[in-house]
Amino acid sequence: METHEDCIFCKIVAGDIPSAKVYEDEDVYAFLDISQVTKGHTLVIPKNHTKNIYETDDALAAKLFARVPKIANALKESFQPTGINILNNNEEAAGQSVFHLHIHLIPRYDETDGFKPNWITHEDKYDLADMSSTISTNL
Ligand code: 5GP
Ligand code: ZN
């Protein structure tokens, strides 16, 4: 297991910090976020430490994301939300505060449930053809 000494989520995986478990298998751990944005707000993490999406290899990403539908359905069954938002913050500028990759599962109930993405569009500002020729796809 790849762990990081000062990482709070590595400590949760190791059981050194208690957590409310939602799901666990060999590679993935899911637990309730200590600051519940909505009822059932869950974090899904790889057991192996990786900082964020930029530092995650294909195999780990595949394992992690493969578990999300199962966990989302478990939350749906348990809490009967009417929808769910799935969110992943990478780097401080994007709101990442714990630097161990995690996916937020945020069950949604109604307009006043506590979560509302601020989705402002700028159609006139960006040229799509120009952008697509700029993006590096040398992967
Ligand atoms: P981020 O802001 O990095 O996307 O999300 C980190 C999340 O981890 C926050 O929503 C925060 O509430 C949660 N969190 C931080 N420390 C703990 C902890 O010790 N236990 C649990 N269950 N969640 C935590
Ligand atoms: Zn970690």
Residue with CA closest to ligand 1 atom 24? 34
CA distance 106 to 36: 9
Residue 44: band (very low, low, confident or very high) from pLDDT cuts 50, 70, 90: very high
- Is 122 among the catalytic positions? no
pLDDT of res. 112: 94
Contact 17, 11 (CB under 8 A): yes
Among 41, 86, 97, the mutation site with the greatest number of ligand 1 atoms within 8 A of its Cβ is: 97
What is the per-residue pLDDT for 136?
82
Summarised one tens digit per residue, pLDDT across range 25-34 is: 999 999 999 9
96 within ligand 1 shell (Cβ under 6 A): yes
Query: What digits encode the pLDDT tens for the residues 93-110?
Result: 999 999 999 999 999 999
Residue 138 has pLDDT above 70, yes or no: no
- pLDDT score, position 5: 85
Q: How many CB atoms lie within 10 A of CB 129?
A: 7
What mean pLDDT comes out for the span 28-41?
98
Domain ranges across the chain? 8-136
Dump pLDDT digits (tens) for 48-59: 999 999 999 999
CA of 33, nearest ligand number: 1
- Buried-state track 76-104, b at ≥16 Cβ within 10 A, e below 16: eeeeebeebbeeebbeeeeebeebbbbbb
Count H helices and E strands in the chain, helices first. 4, 5
Pair of tokens at residue 72: 């989302």
Ligand 2 centroid from CA 49, angstroms = 4
Q: How far is ligand 1, taken at its centre, from the CA of residue 139, in Å?
A: 31
CATH class for the region spanning 8-136: alpha beta
pLDDT of 3 strictly over 90: no
CA distance 71 to 60: 17
Contact 25, 67 (CB under 8 A): yes
Q: Whose CA is nearest to atom 17 of ligand 1?
A: 34
Measured from the CB, is residue 31 less than 6 Å from ligand 1?
yes
Is 118 or 19 the better-scoring residue by pLDDT? 19
pLDDT digits (tens, 9 = 90+) for 63-122: 999 999 999 999 999 999 999 999 999 999 999 999 999 999 999 999 999 999 899 999
